[in-house]
Amino acid sequence: KLKYFVHWKGYPKEEDSWEPVENLRDNNGVSDEFHHTHPSAPRPRPRNVRFNYKTIENFTTTPHLPGHLYNWENGKMQSVRPISVDTILKRGVMS
């Protein structure tokens, strides 16, 4: 959850606090000024943002089913024994 460290005007530093972004909606442009001077700082995502996902057709074909499963992270085989088609389908490797 996004929070800002706030120094409250007219109060000592001991009163500084971390405030959730929801508490700072009406801040007279202070957060805009902050993000202008700190452009890489995390910022709240606008509420009206929509992500349009769409299905992409798979154009890849394989002449045969894989005989072994490989680890996606390091590319090494997880098992040296061959796997069956039933195992592949159960694990969701191929649809």
- pLDDT tens figures, 15-39: 999 988 888 877 777 778 888 888 8
Can you give the residue ranges of every domain in the chain? 3-37, 63-95
R_g of the chain computed on alpha carbons: 26
Angle value at C-alpha 76, between 72 and 82, nearest 5 degrees: 100
Most confident of 5-9, 54-58, 66-70, 91-95: 5-9
Closest CA to 94 of 67, 54, 56, 55: 67
The pLDDT-based confidence of 14 (bands split at 50, 70, 90) is very high
In this prediction, residue 95 carries a pLDDT of 45
